[in-house]
Every structure is written in C-alpha cells, then in structure tokens.
Amino acid sequence: MITAKTPWKNYMGDVPMHLDYFEGSMFEAVEAIAKKYPKNVAFDFMGKSTTYKELVENIENCAKALKTIGIREGDKITIAMPNCPQAIYLFYAVNLVGGIANMVHPLSAEKEIEFYLNESESITAITLDQFYHKFEAIRKNTKIVNIIIASIRDALAEPIRSGYMLTEGRKIRKIPEDAPVIRWKDFMRLSRCCFYNYKVQRTGDDPAVILYSGGTTGTTKGILLTNKNFNALGQQVIAANPMFRPGDKMLAAMPIFHGFGLGVCIHTMLTQGGRCILVPRFTPKTYAKDLVKNRCNFIAGVPTLYEALLRLPDMEGADLSCLKGVFSGGDSLSIELKKKFDKFLYDHKATIQVREGYGTTETVTACCLTPSHMYKEGSIGLPFPDTYIKIVEPGTDKELPYGEEGEILLAGPTVMQEYMHHPEETAQTLRQHADGLTWVYTGDLGCMDDQGFVYFKGRAKRMIVTSGYNVYPAQIENILDAHELVQMSCVIGVPDSYKMQKVKAFIKLVPGVEANDATKQTILAYCRKHVAKYAMPYDIEFKDEMPKTLVGKVAYRVLEEEEQKKLAAAAGSVHE
C-alpha cells in the first residue's frame, strides 16, 4: 500500500496523526470557546473590538431575528458580504437556527447572483447597501422573500463612522425609502419578537454551508459542506501549527465567500480562541498597514498578494518579528517567489518562512501544508492529520509508485457531501475505494515522494487562476457565445507577473460584423453585466478563424502558445 498516512510525526513530533473531532454544529464550537474565553477579543473591525461574549450574544439575537422572519431548519440563506461583523453574526446565526449559509461573492455580476440564488433555492439574502441595486434587478426571477441590507457604517465606532460617511459612504447609491428590504438595525430589533425556542439541534453530519466551484467540468456548482467539515478543518489547522496560542491574531483579508478565508481565517480562529482582524476590502497597501499596525501572528494569502508586498515601499523597515505563520494557497507558489518572500521576511526580522498549502473547495480548502521547520523545494507539504492523499493513474483507482506523476486524490473528514443538483458529477468526483474511504478526484496532477511529501504538477482540468480566484474558461465562453455579435469564442489565461494569470478572450465575429474598437467595447460592456470583476477579460482579440483540434474543437493550447511567443518576443525587444 503506497498511500502516505499523515507522516507528520516523523518530522514534527508534536503534531498528532489522529484527532478526536467535535461532533456538534459550527455555532456550538464557537459557543464552547466563548464560554472558555468570554473576555478575549474575537475580532477587530476598523478599530472596534468585539469579545467572544459579545459575539455569541449578537449571533443569538441575529438567530432570533431570523426565526421572526420565518427561517426554518434546512432553509438556505445567501450571504453576499465582505469580511465584516454582520457577515460573521449572520453566518453563525443561520447555523444556529438550522439553516444553510450560501456564500456568494458580493462583486458577482447580476446574472451570476441570480444563478447563485436559484441554484441554492435561497429564500433570504443579506448584502451591503452598495450592492442592493444588483439584487433588486434580479429579485423577481428568484424565490427570495426577504433582502436584509447592512452597511459598513453600522459596524463602525465613532469617529470612524463620521469619516466613513464623508468619504466611502458618499459614493454609495441611495436606496429608495420604500425599498422592499429590511435594514440591518430593524432586522436586529426583530429579535425582541422571538419568544420561543430558536435553537435547532444540528449534528456534525448535517449540511451547513454552500461554496461554489467549477467541479471537474468547469460548470459552476454548489458544494454542500457539513458542520464537521468546517470544525475538523479548524482542529487540523491548529494541530499542524502547535505554535498557535489562544489570543493569537490572524489577518483575515481572504474573503469570507472563499473556503480559504471562511475556513482558515475565520472559522479556525473563532473555534480555537484566536483573534481575527477583519479586512472588508483590501489592497496590498492596506494589507501591509493592517499587518504592521496590529502585530499579526498569522497571515494567509495568495501568491499574487505576496508578490505585491515585495514591491511596497511602505514595508521598508517594518518589524515582522510578530509572525508565527505565513500561509500561501489558492495557486502554486513559484520556487523563485518563495525564495524572494522568505528573504523579505528575514530582512524584516521574521524568524519563519512562507509555508505553502494545497486543497480544493470540495474539502473546504487546505488539506495539505508544509511543516514549519522543514521545506522541500517544489513541495506543497504533508497531508493534515486524518487526511489521506494518494496518486493514481488519472480517473482510475490504480496507485502509482513514489515519484510517478498522476491524479491527486484526497480523503478525510473535510470531504464534501455533494455537488447540489449534480448527482452524476458527484458520483464522478466522490468514489469509494476498497480501503473503505471516500476519495475526491481532484483533476489535479502531482506526485508523492517516499517521505509522504506531495508535489503539485498542474491542473488536468482547464482552469485559470487569477489573483487566487478560479476562473473557468467554459463559463466565460458560454456568456460570450450568447452575444449576438459573437460566432465563436475561446478564453485563455495569459501569464502575468502580478496576477499569475489574467483572462484574455479570442472571438470570431458573426459574418458582416466589423472587428473594430466599437465592437470590442460593446462586448466588454456586455461582459461587465454577466461576468464577475475578477474574471473579466482584460482584452479581446478578434480572429478570422480559430485554430482547431483534429476532432474540430477550438485548440485553446495553440492560442496559449501563440500568446507565450508574443510575450517572449516583447520581453526580448525590451532587453535589446
């Protein structure tokens, strides 16, 4: 049997191979830690601190308000919010009343939001005032009964609130007075109307969260995750980081609608006594400022972020000796970038190095991490406790010898329940083997050495990773092909020193349509309405004919190679 069974103990004696997992709900895990550390700060938001005791009180009031507006066990509630207090309260309140939280990117295009609401069958949604008009535009096409509108200003302390209203607040488009919504303060007041038991008993195996991914085919699917999936992740992350202590600060800038942000930066911290520094919208500059000002102990980010931090003049002379852990995920960390960032950390008094992780949304997020004291060049580390990884011939259950490249398979307590409404793809992705374990077929390629270290080699499925976000070309192509001026399209990822990849579209126009800038702008304006900001093509190139494969499909690899040659030629002319 070749499978590596969590070999942490060989390299880090105090990391257990097996853990006893909490079997209750996500809320109960937070509640238990709040009883232990009631006066500890749970999170900070723009200068205002909230203790664990206050956190639980706000969650309970929020749960009573949800019960008052008619939320019942199993109902789906969409949360389209940045990292802010209201999002945290509502996330756990939905869990407390037995609902399922549907996590959505607030910058999604209108049609994407409509899809997320309908796919999840949500009956209530919460978003910020600045996104209200997008929700109102598509509301009639969904089953949404209530829209709760929150505002960043409601979570701010004076005088920051006044400053916010004079700057950012002024830019927000006004919501009509008679808009059919429930404002956050009015919503919370509804808690006073709940006189009966609002707490619903849930177990670790009950579904709790929906996150989105392209699955193995690149079509957006809702991934149904359980209470135990999240609680187990929290315990695994801390077990793999024995230097963690309650009260340690995590810079929570990774978004709450992403498994990495929600699972590692928020839920892990709040179930283990950590302190989250909530960042609602970040740039590398604000990230650097928050990191230094708050003396954070742990930070998590995508390679793009670390690349940007290297370029910031603001970091000159910054003291990062407070850092205990720096985690990179969401995309491959190049060997060169790791070397540069490790030197950056050393030059800024940190005693640690960046640690790369690997995972999929089908397992919430990370399930593999580089040990803190041992690095192997090109490796994404070792599986978490109770998480198993094996390398097989793609699509089969035939294990390959150490060092041989194949498909990466994952098994463990964080494996999803299913893709909602997609039983065929669920069966294709989740398969039970003779060992009795249910394995996730990731579609990613990699190998494993004889010490259990895993090496990521590439994605078998077609996907673009831009600034840590997964973009599925097939989705963008479907949108482009639906436009009346487009006969055929192909979307590729173009290498970029900052974003790692950026999205470019190639289009063959309908006969008779002119390939000019006006046509390009028309199609880009259409994209802005249907495509999320991070997935927007940075450029459109018109083609008279698309390159084809032998079976007649668009040869996207040919377009990728052409683009690589253009970039190489441009780089050559710069150096001459």
Is residue 419 predicted with pLDDT exceeding 80? yes
Q: Name the burial class of residue 344, with classes exposed (0-12), middle (13-18) and buried (19+) by CB atoms within 10 angstroms of its CB.
A: middle
- In DSSP notation, 298-365 reads EEEE-HHHHHHHHT-GGGTT---TT-SEEEE-SS---HHHHHHHHHHHHHTT----EEEEEE-GGGSS
Residue 470 is predicted with a pLDDT of: 78
* Confidence grade of residue 378 (pLDDT, cut at 50, 70, 90): confident
Asked if 100 contacts 35 with a C-beta cutoff of 8 angstroms, the reply is no
Residue 217 is predicted with a pLDDT of: 57
Asked if 309 contacts 288 with a C-beta cutoff of 8 angstroms, the reply is yes
Going through 434-544 in order, the beta strands assigned E by DSSP cover 438-448, 454-459, 464-466, 469-471, 486-496, 500-509, 539-542
Mean pLDDT of 148-166: 76
Residue type, 280: P
Picking from 436, 468, 520, the residue whose alpha carbon sits closest to that of residue 265 is 468
Helices and strands (H and E) in the chain: how many = 18, 28
Asked if 33 contacts 275 with a C-beta cutoff of 8 angstroms, the reply is no
Q: Of all residues in the chain, what percent carry a pLDDT higher than 70?
A: 92
Is residue 11 predicted with pLDDT exceeding 60? no
Q: Please tell me the distance from the alpha carbon of residue 465 to that of residue 101, in angstroms, as a whole number.
A: 25
CA distances 77 to 66, 234, 479, Å, are 10, 23, 27
Residue type, 329: G
Lowest mean pLDDT among 27-41, 93-107, 160-174, 394-408: 160-174
Name the architecture of domain 25-202.
3-Layer(aba) Sandwich (3.40)
Q: Which residue carries 């960042």 as its tokens?
A: 279
Residue type, 479: I
CA torsion, points 115, 121, 127, 130, in degrees to nearest 10? 30
The 10 Å CB-count burial string (b at 16+, else e) for 388-419 is bbbbbeeeeeebbeeeeebbbbbbbbbbbbbb
Is residue 130 predicted with pLDDT exceeding 60? yes
Q: 10 Å Cβ neighbour count for 467?
A: 20
Q: Please tell me the distance from the alpha carbon of residue 197 to that of residue 160, in angstroms, as a whole number.
A: 37
Picking from 500, 483, 501, the residue whose alpha carbon sits closest to that of residue 492 is 501
Domain residue limits, the chain: 25-202, 464-575
**82 HSE (CA, 13 A, CB side):** 16
3-class SS of residue 457 = strand
Question: Which residues lie below 8 Å from residue 283, measured CB to CB, with a gap of 6+?
Answer: none
Picking from 440, 454, 441, 431, the residue whose alpha carbon sits closest to that of residue 412 is 440
Q: Sign of torsion, CA 506 512 518 521?
A: negative
Which is higher by pLDDT, 284 or 492?
492
Helix (H) or strand (E) holding 290: helix 284-294
Determine if residue 466 is left, alpha or beta; phi over 0 gives left, psi from -120 to 50 gives alpha, anything else beta: beta
Lowest mean pLDDT among 252-261, 430-439, 563-572: 563-572
* Confidence grade of residue 551 (pLDDT, cut at 50, 70, 90): very low
* Joined tokens for residue 103: 């996590």
* Confidence grade of residue 169 (pLDDT, cut at 50, 70, 90): low
Q: Please tell me the distance from the alpha carbon of residue 29 to that of residue 208, in angstroms, as a whole number.
A: 13
Mean pLDDT of 278-304: 89
Asked if 333 contacts 362 with a C-beta cutoff of 8 angstroms, the reply is no
Q: 10 Å Cβ neighbour count for 20?
A: 7
The 10 Å CB-count burial string (b at 16+, else e) for 270-305 is bbbbbbbbbbbebebeebbbbbbebebbbbbbbbbb
Specify whether domain 464-575 bears CATH 3.30.300.30.
yes
* Confidence grade of residue 223 (pLDDT, cut at 50, 70, 90): very high
* SS3 labels along 180-242: CCEEHHHHHHHHHHCCCCCCCCCCCCCEEEEEEECCCCCCCEEEEEEHHHHHHHHHHHHHCCC
Alpha helix locations (H) across 348-414?
A: none
Question: Which residues lie below 8 Å from residue 184, measured CB to CB, with a gap of 6+?
Answer: 86, 148, 149, 150, 151, 154
* SS3 labels along 524-570: HHHHHHHCCHHHCCCEEEECCCCCECCCCCECHHHHHHHHHHHHHHH
Asked if 198 contacts 67 with a C-beta cutoff of 8 angstroms, the reply is yes
